[in-house]
Structure 1
């Protein structure tokens, strides 16, 4: 049976900047310092009005091909993780295949996951590679949450940024590759409505819904926009991540001392620090890189992973963990390839 490796990551950030000063201008009750303190974020990148997930995926992929000198004709499968597809149908991955000029012999599909999406994508890609169905899988993550966040929603506006990433999953390692080891997954669909766009599918569809405000005039929600119950998402994360980390270590017969770095979904600074302490992870092994990009949903782990590998030299075993919308969680360890 083949092994599967991550062999290169690239990412694309849109050109429009949304910094804390801009948010504070729209919401004077939130100072620049307060936003940074609560979120650990100073800037986010926002897609153009006419820039779709498919557009961002293509830009990220072309950047990947240029940076890694990869022959497009060698790609035989395309996986696209997004919750903001170009259309309800057809699958955006098919559009991306055509725009990239990939061979018509490739497989291509979308899968709908958010903050755990990169880990699940690695699992799907590994399954294709180790069973011999594909030799080179292009795993793309791309989301444009800015298009589903209400302009009056200061809470979500401060957290989320748009981005796209591309990772190559292959059975042919190079000196820079990381082997994908064993996974653990988890799902609690009873919390599906804690992070949701209610008016977005066939269940409750209408052309428009009004903004809702509390008695003090504070924005609450709009069923056509992103809604997040931050407290319940926090509780899900706080109670489910620590046992997940233990399970991933056990499944891979490793201990904390075997792990060089931990890269979690880059949600916000407060949540990450709370989880780190709850998991008893040393601060210098816990990599955080979100200040200049925000919470980029499925792209947050690969962006941080790319930066970790570029910045640190002592990177051998990395534990990845994604968690959030679904409610969904997943973890895996990747191991630096050593040629024998």
Structure 2
């Protein structure tokens, strides 16, 4: 039994926020330098009454326009922006899409490593004969967690949703996957308040960090320097392990697609790994860092120019701290 990605679709919210828009809010910040270094020119944020679930539904409906929903026998939904603490958002999505009631459905809470984790889960379900057509969904709305005065995070993060159809194939298109976890760094990227340990605090005090960034414990906090150091310490070595695991040399991979965190970080790792720029895809300009959605968006965009089989190394890393990756082969547009 083999596994292949048949199709990917993605959606952004309608509300596009450019660097010029942010420059009006943060006039003392040099967004021209930000564009040059980080590579983000715009991002999209949901409206007040719009959720990750709304985006997920749109992405799935877009994909299912060309694929029979009655053949979907499993739904895997990756989000850190659930509709409710319970029930499982995947169950709601199954109903909204009209998928068969015989289909399995579950959520999992992962961030930037979420898509590669999902592909590995799909591979396991298909290779073990438990499913044949899996709808793998990622959806994230970090904009709802960001403090209005947090210029750094507002410049980096955008909202999006993706839907991938991962299916049984007579030929195997998936290689081996590897994983990593360092929970000691759980507080490097965190929304502290609002769940079981610390309830939402309407009187939470404002905290200043970095260069005049403001947040409260009700909001998203990212320790940028520590996340950068983690990434550049762990991910290049991890990528080399992936190459060894899959018995392939660096130069035999046609494209490396990493989580699209920021261009400076990505190029730092690319140089460390001695990968040529043309074999290392960067796709940040339009939508920014969309967390678990960045890899499927980049993979979809890259595939539009494919007309022959290519080996693609996918690597996700971030909140948790968590990382994962694997080798896949694609032969045409997704």
TM-score, length of structure 2 as denominator length: 0.95
* Structure-2 residue corresponding to 1:39: 38
Q: Deviations over 1:209-230 (max 9, x none)?
A: 4342449993343111100000
Matches within 5 A, 1:66-215: 66=65, 69-172=66-169, 179-214=173-208
Task: Provide the C-alpha distance between the structure 2 equivalents of 1:234 and 1:94, rounded to a whole number of angstroms.
Answer: 36
Task: Provide the C-alpha distance between the structure 2 equivalents of 1:209 and 1:260, rounded to a whole number of angstroms.
Answer: 52
Compared with structure 1, are the counterparts of its residues 38 and 308 closer, same or farther at alpha carbon in structure 2 (3 Å cutoff)? same
Task: Provide the C-alpha distance between the structure 2 equivalents of 1:215 and 1:20, rounded to a whole number of angstroms.
Answer: 21
1:200 shift after superposition: 2.6
Matches within 5 A, 1:46-65: 46-65=45-64
1:172 shift after superposition: 3.1
Instruction: Verify the 8 A CA contact 2:4 2:174 in the aligned structure 1.
Output: yes
* Structure-1 residue corresponding to 2:240: 246
Partner of 2:60, secondary structure, is helix
Q: Deviations over 1:162-201 (max 9, x none)?
A: 0000111111369xxx812100100000000000000031
Instruction: Verify the 8 A CA contact 1:129 1:170 in the aligned structure 2.
Output: yes
Compared with structure 1, are the counterparts of its residues 42 and 130 closer, same or farther at alpha carbon in structure 2 (3 Å cutoff)? same
1:50 shift after superposition: 1.1
Partner of 2:173, secondary structure, is strand
* Structure-2 residue corresponding to 1:262: 256
Q: Does residue 308 of structure 1 match 2:307? A: no
Instruction: Give the alignment's Cα RMSD to 1 decimal.
Output: 1.8
1:233 shift after superposition: 0.4
TM-score, length of structure 1 as denominator length: 0.94
| Range moving further from structure 2, 32-41 or 146-155 | 32-41
Compared with structure 1, are the counterparts of its residues 5 and 312 closer, same or farther at alpha carbon in structure 2 (3 Å cutoff)? closer
Partner of 1:171, secondary structure, is strand
1:35 shift after superposition: 2.5
Q: Please, which runs of 5 or more residues in structure 1 have no aligned partner?
A: none
| 1:329 paired residue among 304, 323, 331 | 323
| Range moving further from structure 2, 285-294 or 313-322 | 313-322
Matched residue count: 332
Instruction: Verify the 8 A CA contact 1:192 1:326 in the aligned structure 2.
Output: yes
Compared with structure 1, are the counterparts of its residues 335 and 215 closer, same or farther at alpha carbon in structure 2 (3 Å cutoff)? closer
| Range moving further from structure 2, 133-142 or 306-315 | 306-315
Compared with structure 1, are the counterparts of its residues 217 and 275 closer, same or farther at alpha carbon in structure 2 (3 Å cutoff)? closer
Partner of 1:4, secondary structure, is strand
| Range moving further from structure 2, 199-208 or 182-191 | 199-208
1:47 shift after superposition: 1.1
Task: Provide the C-alpha distance between the structure 2 equivalents of 1:6 and 1:136, rounded to a whole number of angstroms.
Answer: 10
Task: Provide the C-alpha distance between the structure 1 equivalents of 2:199 and 2:55, rounded to a whole number of angstroms.
Answer: 27
